[in-house]
Structure 1
Amino acid sequence: MVLNLNPNIKDPDGFYDELLGAHSGLSKDESDAFNARLILILANHVGDRAILRAALNAAK
């Protein structure tokens, strides 16, 4: 499997609004912790170490 870097989210603007809404009212520390939890949850869902490694490299 190859890391998909092409647009793949239905209604990306709606998702972005939800993501911003999830941060509403959080302090910087709380927001950072939320992001860390979200990353770990999504990484667990993906599960494939090669894909996760490719994502880490792409994010650099």
Structure 2
Amino acid sequence: MAAKLIGAGLACIALGGASIGVSRNPALRKELFNNAILGFALTEAMGLFALMMALIFLYAF
């Protein structure tokens, strides 16, 4: 059971790293608006994937 909880926690760390990478330089938002929108969408997708992996680790195995 402890390994499941550790695995779920490690899967959720991915969201924190992705959000830090997107928010490092907000001053370029005007010049890179399209890339910023794409980055936010990919960050949200990565967060949802990390949550899905955490739930799989907790309840499927």
Same-fold call, TM cutoff 0.5: no
Higher relative contact order (CA 8 A, sep 6+): 2
Q: TM-score range by the shorter chain?
A: 0.3 to 0.5
TM-score when normalising by structure 1: 0.37
* Structure number, greater radius of gyration: 2
User: When you count helix as a share of all residues, which structure comes out higher?
Assistant: 2
TM-score by length of 2: 0.37
